[in-house]
């Protein structure tokens, strides 16, 4: 159970991921449940594991990605609910 008002970081796949719509619904759900939601600005065609797999820079890039999230906002559908 995630406590009310928790600060949730969605370490998401890149914007062009086919899972984008499900993710948008999920973020709307969490925001409407009084959570504070932020998202990683994941580079195109990457996820956190593919970033980690870069043996030289992976850990550093992943830490930087997680340290610079962008605020999640309600979608139009989420505002209507």
User: In whole angstroms, how close is the CB of 32 to other proteins at the nearest point?
Assistant: 10
Give the CA angle between residues 14, 51, 60 to the nearest 5°: 125
Show the binding pattern over residues 30-49: x = contacts other proteins (CB under 8 A), - = does not: x--xxx--x--------xxx
Which position among 59, 73, 77, 81 is part of the footprint of other proteins (CB under 8 A)?
A: 59
Under the criterion CB under 8 A, does residue 26 sit at the interface with other proteins? yes
Under the criterion CB under 8 A, does residue 58 sit at the interface with other proteins? yes
Under the criterion CB under 8 A, does residue 3 sit at the interface with other proteins? yes
The count of C-alpha atoms lying within 13 angstroms of the C-alpha of 21, restricted to the half-sphere facing its C-beta, is 1
- Residues ≥6 apart with Cβ < 8 Å to 46: 13, 14
């Amino acid at each position: 159970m995630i406590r009310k008002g928790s600060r949730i970081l969605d370490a998401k796949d890149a914007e062009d991921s086919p899972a984008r719509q499900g993710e948008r619904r999920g973020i709307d759900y969490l925001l409407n449940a009084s959570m504070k939601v932020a998202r990683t600005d994941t580079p195109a065609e990457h996820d956190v594991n593919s970033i980690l797999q870069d043996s030289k820079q992976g850990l550093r890039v992943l830490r930087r990605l997680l340290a610079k999230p962008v605020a999640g906002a309600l979608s139009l559908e989420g505002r209507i609910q």
